[in-house]
Structure 1
Amino acid sequence: MRERDGMDGEATIQQRQATARRWAIDIALMAVIGLLMGFLGPFASERAPIVGRYVYWMICMVGGGLIGVVLDERLASRMPETWRRVVVVSVLMAPLVSLHVLATEHLVMGGPFGWAGYGRLLWQVWPISLAVMVVRTLVWRRLPTRVETLTIVAPPLPEAEAAFRRRLSARRRGARLIAVEAHDHYLKVHTDAGAELITLRFADALAELERAHGWRVHRSWWVAAEAVEAVRWRRGAGEVRLAGGLEAPVSRTYAPILKDAGWF
């Protein structure tokens, strides 16, 4: 029990560190955009004193950008399609960001605070919000692929895989299960004692492995949780690196499962 608590604590710490890193990168990105906007001085803001102009744009871009980040994180599991989500988030964030900008303009620049100004800002804020979310998405896609967190999983209970293991040869029945790969009407079962072909529908294999520690990551792949060593996600596609150098694809449909497990 103490060992399990220790593993859970380590996984929690790693997940918190990954979350803090993501927030730090997002805030730094919004700050850079705020500095750029302060330098350019759009929407007649160049008339304001230089310090006030930079303060205004930093507050607007960092605060408004973080509103978009929160909305994006909330929608990620329900809407895995990246660019569609970017557009939806930009529309949803525009009213809140406009209110934030209006209040900042009133406090920093001394501008009026009223519905007339709010309506004007909506049409200015939305394209900027869309551009910011597009830049954020491109930045995250260009960052080196890496494992942000590692979920430590307890070894599966023997009975959870017993029915499925009985289908394997004696040599691999007691081996470490790594992955199951569907090939037409048969399955390729990957273990640390080698791979083996068996005749079984993928749906039936998933049913037998329902209580095992693992995930379906693709329409034709199931992977054991303890065999996962790294997860990469780039350009809308993912890949899992497994024990023994095996690699399995990750589809958009099943990506939220790995995200919930803390892999990215």
Structure 2
Amino acid sequence: MNEPGVMAQLLRPAELRRRGLLMAATVLVLTFLAPWGTDRLPPMRRACGWLAMVVVWEVAIVLVVGAVLAWRRRHGRQAACLGPGWTVAIVMIAAVPAVPLCLLATFRHIPSAATCAVFTLNSVGLGAIISLLRTRWRAGPSEAAPEAAAIAMALADGARGDADAFLARHAPHLAGTQLLALEAEDHYLRIHTDAGDALVLLRLRDAVEGLGAESGLQVHRSFWVARDAAPLARRRGQAWALEFAGGLSVPVSRANVAACRAEGWL
């Protein structure tokens, strides 16, 4: 369902710490406000109940977000293009597994249909409000980025880390520079960075697999471009090329034009 690269980035320590802090804050607020009659419960039991439900919802939302990001990448779409409506939609999809589990955790059995309906409406409504507030807090008052966009930023951070590790392993003298592109030269690979290039004995296919799908895009059978390289597009007749400072020009094959447009490069 999810691409391994996507879920691996969603489970990075930095992303887990961020979500853990947000979960703790959510549990503290709900325990203090005690909605839906939970004020009748002892504080510790109330906190444990909210913690269980928040954890269930968080896991469900992470799985749904991972599936959405993977699906959009397979179809050449950008994760950062998701709007606030996606946040609500993701919460509603996550409710399918989350609500029954929360019902069982709260009532120890499935209650009447009326109770289930009210519980579902309250859960989805509260979940949507919390998700929107959390993503707005992360983005700032002037830019209410959706939850998926916030995770897309974490994916981009992971891609930069992969590029740094790649340079340190295959071109140590270029470690710390920005990876721009990879170019296949027979059985060798030319690594292009903003501080120069290096020729190493490595196949392009192996290098791309090692960097991961989140790090960049293969735009030609002999060229791969880093996702955060920010190239300039140039059209030459019916063909496109991506150009970088320093004179590097990377041709774009016709089959990859749509994917480059989805990245915002063309």
User: TM-score, length-normalised on structure 1?
Assistant: 0.54
Match of 1:254 in 2: 263
State how far apart, in whole Å, the 1-side matches of 2:254 and 2:197 are.
17
Match of 1:73 in 2: 66
How far 1:76 moved relative to its partner?
1.8
State how far apart, in whole Å, the 2-side matches of 1:179 and 1:116 are.
54
State how far apart, in whole Å, the 2-side matches of 1:76 and 1:46 are.
38
Match of 1:206 in 2: 252
Which residues in structure 2 correspond to 1:39-58 (within 5 Å)? Answer: 39-58=32-51
Give the gaps of 5 or more residues in structure 1: 1-11, 163-173, 220-252, 256-264
Please say if 1:158 is aligned against 2:191. Answer: no
Please say if residues 64 and 90 of structure 2, whose CA atoms lie closer than 8 Å, have aligned partners that are also in contact: yes
Deviation digits for residues 195-232 of structure 1 (CA, Å, limit 9, x no counterpart):
38x9xxx9xx202997xxxx99853xxxxxxxxxxxxx
How many equivalent residue pairs? 183
Please say if 1:181 is aligned against 2:237. Answer: no
Please say if residues 234 and 243 of structure 2, whose CA atoms lie closer than 8 Å, have aligned partners that are also in contact: no
Which residues in structure 2 correspond to 1:207-226 (within 5 Å)? Answer: 207=253, 219=261
Point out the more displaced range, 116-125 or 19-28: 19-28
Please say if residues 34 and 58 of structure 1, whose CA atoms lie closer than 8 Å, have aligned partners that are also in contact: yes
Give the gaps of 5 or more residues in structure 2: 73-78, 141-149, 171-181, 190-195, 199-224
How far 1:134 moved relative to its partner?
1.8
Match of 1:195 in 2: 247
State how far apart, in whole Å, the 2-side matches of 1:118 and 1:124 are.
10
State how far apart, in whole Å, the 1-side matches of 2:68 and 2:116 are.
26
Please say if residues 26 and 136 of structure 1, whose CA atoms lie closer than 8 Å, have aligned partners that are also in contact: no
Structure with bigger gyration radius: 1
Distance 1:121 1:95, change over 3 A: farther
Please give the secondary structure, in 1, of the residue aligned with 2:29.
helix
Instruction: Give the residue type in structure 1 aligned to 2:68.
Output: L
State how far apart, in whole Å, the 1-side matches of 2:100 and 2:41 are.
20
Give the root-mean-square deviation of aligned CA atoms.
4.2
How far 1:97 moved relative to its partner?
2.2
